[in-house]
Structure 1
Amino acid sequence: MEREWMAGGTAAGGGIEIVGLGGVRRAPAARVRAACEGLVALAVVGDSPVTEQDLRGLLPAVRAGRWAELTRWPGSYWVVASDGRQHFVSGDLAGIRAVYYTPHQEGTAWASEPGLLGRPLVPDLPLLAARLAAGEHHWPHHSTYEQIPQVPGGSGLLLAPGAPPQLVDIAGVEPAYELREGAERFGRAFTDAVQHRVRAAGAVVGADLSGGLDSSAAVVLAAGVGTVHAVTYTDGYTSGEDMAFAARVAEHTAARHTLATGSAEQLPFGFPPGQPTGAEPVLEAAMYAMDTAYLHPVRGLPLHLTGHGGDIVLDASSSCWVRLLQDGRRREAHRQVVAFARLRNTAPGPYWKALKNAAALGHSGSLVRAAEALERGPVTTQATVAGWSWCRLGAGASWLTAAGRHQVAVLLRQAARHRRQPELADEFDQWAALRSSGASARGWTPYAEKLVVRPVYPYLDNEVVRAAFAVPALARRGLVSYKPLLQAALPQLPDWLTSRRSKGSFTAQRIAGLARHQGLLDKLIMSSPLAAGGLIDHAAVRVALAQAARGQSATVIADLHQLIVTCWWLTSQTAAKEVTAC
């Protein structure tokens, strides 16, 4: 198919190549299906069972500009379309299939990786500091680089001659109103997302099997139509309960099961030589040694199933109770909050107060309040407060210098003025969490390529996300049962699995990794562009790092994790540029 698309591209393994502003063609490992009639054209690039006949059936939607209709096939893919005048491109709702764009002398260039846009890649240091201090959710339109916007998950990019780039909504969530109504739809979508891939592979497929509900459900469905080689990581810090459930799932499904036992060499934050860098910092970068160890047995298989994203689509946060307050359903919100607190033997008062404050402020108001707190002076690390917040200044905010606080406050005020995100708490939270999960999967792509693993994320497929988000967050937020949507949608899962209430954690591994690598991490942070550029106070971080390495301050570990991988990524970027210059 030859068409005058605007520029686009991707790394090997899944997307689009471009030559100038000419015709789109597939990368060596990509699958492209296309159809056209005259000037009207449509292409799907990536992992989907869509056929050319399916595409031809939607050419009328291209002519009419019904862009969201082009994103409703199973799988994970990019869509590129043209009606002869306008050009449309989108990735998936989660943002695994990213789209970046920038002004070009002949219009707007777009690409699936920022490095293919033909302009210098300059990391946006104030934005990275802001994400560390206030969360990553407030700037979904910004990429990691200066002057390179990103199409946020749930949107597509529409380009027309002589007009600025336009973002169009492609979310297309049709409310189900209750759990029972939406569960059947979700069950069909998720089952198809897993099983169509396994059938298409026609061979043994790999799968993560942590013992949690999400990966276990994927393995059960996959084993129903194919042969699965499941892999599990364990070490001296791993939950014994997780291992017991993983072994029981493997036995139940007759899946081949390989248990990889890690040592001190696999602890987080080691950053072994030869580790890929990628186009953006990603938390999984700290776990590369662990990934290398446990994924080795499934190298080279046609696909590798994961449970990544299951927490986002199957569950909901306490933002659903803020939504009740926003809707004026105060009594119902209070009843649920009290019941939730009692189940966990905690006092409901602080929880209730936090939720009321969130409902009163809204997203924009919370951003302004956070900016004001930064402008007043140093921020102390807030104790973990039960309850949801639009914008909580975490430990990262306490590490900012005066210059850093000023620049982050500016970005927060800008985000508050633009009001590009939902003002309903549950909608904001689920889309923010979805994009974060998608960014994590997207950022792991270079690691997967290095490890010769082809990960798929069935929980993050468009139709799976739509089916899950159609069920109200309040219905997905189980008080008594855990992840009630999964149990209702897949009644064939064994009761001993869906009745599990606990969830494993890598906190112990992270503490051990911080202790093992403390000296090297301290030097990494001190020499990073964030410290050298005067945005973070290395002395403040050093104190937090020492406390966390001793296990004295577990509440800051998540922020330390993000800071460390950001500093490592920035330092690696700088080193790569120096090598290229030589």
Structure 2
Amino acid sequence: MEQQWITGGTAATDGVTIKGLGDVRRAPGMRARAVGEGPAAAAVVGDCTLTEQELRTALPAVRAGRWAELTRWPGSYWVIADNGRQHFVCGDLAGLRAIYYTLQGERAAWATAARLLGCPLVPDLPWLAARLTAGEHHWPHHSPYERIHLVPGGFGLLLTPGALPQLIDVTGIEPVAELREGAAQFGRALTDAVQRRVHDADGVVGADLSGGLDSSAAVVLAAETAHVHAVTYTDGYTSAEDTAFASRVAEHTRIEHTTAAGGDAQLPFGFPAGQPAGTEPVLEAATYTMDACYLAPVRDLPVHLTGHGGDVVLDASASCWARLLQDGRRREAHRQVVAFARLRNTAPGPAWKTLKQAAGLGRSTALLRAAEALEHGPAAGERATGGWSWCRLGAGASWLTGHGRHQVAALLRQAAREQQPEHADEFDQWAALRSVGASARGWEPYAHALGIQPVYPYLDNQVVRAAFAVPALARRGLVAYKPLLRAALPQLPDWLTSRRSKGSFTAQRIAGLARHHGRLTELVGASPLAAAGLIDPAAVQTVLAQTARGHNATAIADLHHLLVTCWWLTGQKARLEAAC
């Protein structure tokens, strides 16, 4: 099989040729290092301070095909390598540095952006409907487009002449026994990920400061070595506690701090004219006006720190209790569930029932049961109970037409046959990591439009590896929230790490639905998902009206996904029609 290879950013590219690697295109300003010796060649493209000499020491691994060794440098980057027999390309563990590929006759083409593959970008409507119904994590190799595949975060793509493309696992997690054992390693990795970036920026750096633990920790670390200008968003719906914590962190670190006050014009789901759409739907599309409001003071700074991804690496979901049940540790699992429920004044019974069912079914069976439920008739969305399941059909399940249910069921059956982790905690943490990686990747055109250069220290390979080395159960914590952060960074003030609450934008989203209700109703009705007979607009509009009145807040997350998908698809349709 003949291969062609492309790499680069999503901006306009310039071409360079690297011996042994073919035509490598990179975006202007994108850092690249390349070495070659005999048939072996390797290149690193992206946010990595690796020197050519350091990269040269990796050539023995290239010759031997030890591909995972090429992913262990600090930063966030792509790796391209060739040993004369095989060609290897890899992004990061989170999927922020994405790799797309497609088969074009006798050739396999790959690129770091789907549009660079040179084939039509036709949205995969059944898959988008399935993602709205059951979540995207069951199909980690799918892109939003027909016949274009996505290399899942944690895997690389290996191309061998005469063979089909092969996915290579590069996760390389080395487990530790307990939190204390892994905390120091995580602390060093996160500190380096933050401070290396702000040091390289050599000037004022911007930073999100929501008042939550993740962004606050990044700001504290950055302020130790750089001049930081942090920004916070607030409006009439923002938690006063969040704002107070943000102000206290700014005072503690003595940084420059701007709080931007938004109003009705900044409420979600406005989708103003001229808003960039990007090449995949992301939740942040709904909050573009909020972002434009609070990020304006730090526009054009060389670096902008975020806490994005902190929830995934610092915490764990109730899947860790399902894992206890899978391991036969029923008594410990029950004790954890009851203790967690008591701390939050909730009944443990529903969560315990859900966890037992998840552990008993397993992933494949759970997906097959969800498919069967869809095929047998309209399915009501399952209400979250605080437990965990392999496949929870959300409110989107009740919006599907008969045709839509059969399409989604077929995709669920396909996913049940594909290989994924069968341990609940491993499956869930990788699914969550890829989800936040996709979110960061999809926000790139918005960042570009707003003049922001975002960095995501919590998503660096070595930070993720250090976090996931700690058992999910230890990261979950009962008494302390995000105990890994407290143990890893003892210099953080106790008043910050002892915070147990977490803010949300639910109130803003409900207000945004009410403000833009008429336009959103039209958007759903005109969506390609409705035109293809996959969703019933009337069913959506009923839930939309209820939620806009504050009567069905449990559906807000599913509506958010649906609305940004409909808006994105409408823009994609317009672009396709203009190209014809």
For the superposition of Structure 1 and Structure 2, which TM-score range results when normalised by the shorter chain? over 0.9
Number of aligned residues: 577
Contact 1:129 1:408 in 2 (8 A): yes
Q: Deviations over 1:298-341 (max 9, x none)?
A: 11111100000000000000100100011111111111111111
Change (3 A) 1:157 1:291: same
Q: Deviations over 1:15-41 (max 9, x none)?
A: 885789942143212110111111211
Asked if residue 8 in structure 1 is aligned to residue 6 in structure 2, the reply is: yes
Contact 1:5 1:22 in 2 (8 A): no
Asked if residue 276 in structure 1 is aligned to residue 311 in structure 2, the reply is: no
Asked if residue 73 in structure 1 is aligned to residue 68 in structure 2, the reply is: no
Give the Cα separation in 2 of the matches to 1:429 and 1:17: 39
Give the Cα separation in 2 of the matches to 1:6 and 1:183: 43
The CA deviation at 1:10 is: 3.3
Give the Cα separation in 1 of the matches to 2:317 and 2:380: 25
Contact 1:207 1:306 in 2 (8 A): yes
Give the Cα separation in 1 of the matches to 2:91 and 2:81: 12
Aligned match of 1:459: 458
Asked if residue 333 in structure 1 is aligned to residue 333 in structure 2, the reply is: yes
Q: Which letter maps to 1:157?
A: L
Aligned match of 2:299: 299
Q: CA RMSD in A?
A: 1.5
Give the Cα separation in 1 of the matches to 2:223 and 2:14: 32
Q: What pairs with 1:553-564 in structure 2 (closer than 5 Å)?
A: 553-564=552-563
3-state SS, counterpart of residue 23 of structure 1: strand
Aligned match of 1:238: 238
**Could you tell which deviates more after superposition, 374-383 or 533-542?**
374-383
Give the Cα separation in 2 of the matches to 1:559 and 1:379: 15
Q: Which runs of 5+ in 1 are unaligned?
A: none
Aligned match of 1:152: 152
Give the Cα separation in 2 of the matches to 1:413 and 1:43: 39
Aligned match of 1:421: 420
Asked if residue 412 in structure 1 is aligned to residue 418 in structure 2, the reply is: no
Change (3 A) 1:376 1:25: closer
Contact 1:12 1:29 in 2 (8 A): no
Aligned match of 2:432: 433
**Could you tell which deviates more after superposition, 372-381 or 520-529?**
372-381
Change (3 A) 1:15 1:258: farther
The CA deviation at 1:6 is: 2.9
Aligned match of 2:226: 226
Give the Cα separation in 2 of the matches to 1:108 and 1:12: 20
Change (3 A) 1:282 1:18: farther
Query: Identity of counterpart residues, as a percentage?
Result: 73
Give the Cα separation in 1 of the matches to 2:471 and 2:214: 20
Change (3 A) 1:14 1:317: farther
Aligned match of 1:569: 568
Q: What pairs with 1:41-440 in structure 2 (closer than 5 Å)?
A: 41-105=41-105, 107-418=107-418, 420-440=419-439
Q: Which letter maps to 2:425?
A: D
3-state SS, counterpart of residue 509 of structure 1: helix
Give the Cα separation in 1 of the matches to 2:350 and 2:250: 42
**Could you tell which deviates more after superposition, 327-336 or 123-132?**
327-336
3-state SS, counterpart of residue 238 of structure 1: coil
The CA deviation at 1:580 is: 3.0
Divergent runs of 4+, >3 A: 9-22
Q: What pairs with 1:504-519 in structure 2 (closer than 5 Å)?
A: 504-519=503-518
3-state SS, counterpart of residue 206 of structure 1: strand
Asked if residue 521 in structure 1 is aligned to residue 520 in structure 2, the reply is: yes
Asked if residue 490 in structure 1 is aligned to residue 482 in structure 2, the reply is: no
The CA deviation at 1:577 is: 2.0
The CA deviation at 1:5 is: 7.4
3-state SS, counterpart of residue 539 of structure 2: helix
Contact 1:6 1:87 in 2 (8 A): no
Q: Which letter maps to 1:265?
A: A
Q: Which letter maps to 1:525?
A: V
Change (3 A) 1:12 1:122: closer
Asked if residue 502 in structure 1 is aligned to residue 501 in structure 2, the reply is: yes
3-state SS, counterpart of residue 149 of structure 2: coil
Q: Which letter maps to 2:261?
A: T
The CA deviation at 1:12 is: 4.6
Contact 2:78 2:97 in 1 (8 A): yes
TM normalised by structure 2 equals 0.98
Contact 2:3 2:109 in 1 (8 A): no
Q: Which letter maps to 1:214?
A: D
Contact 2:7 2:26 in 1 (8 A): no
Q: Which runs of 5+ in 2 are unaligned?
A: none
The CA deviation at 1:342 is: 1.3
Q: Deviations over 1:105-141 (max 9, x none)?
A: 4521000011111111110000000000111110001
The CA deviation at 1:217 is: 0.2
Q: Deviations over 1:86-109 (max 9, x none)?
A: 100000000000000011345210
Q: Which letter maps to 1:447?
A: Y
Q: What pairs with 1:535-554 in structure 2 (closer than 5 Å)?
A: 535-554=534-553
3-state SS, counterpart of residue 137 of structure 1: helix
Give the Cα separation in 2 of the matches to 1:15 and 1:142: 25
Q: Deviations over 1:47-67 (max 9, x none)?
A: 011111110111000011110
Give the Cα separation in 1 of the matches to 2:528 and 2:29: 36
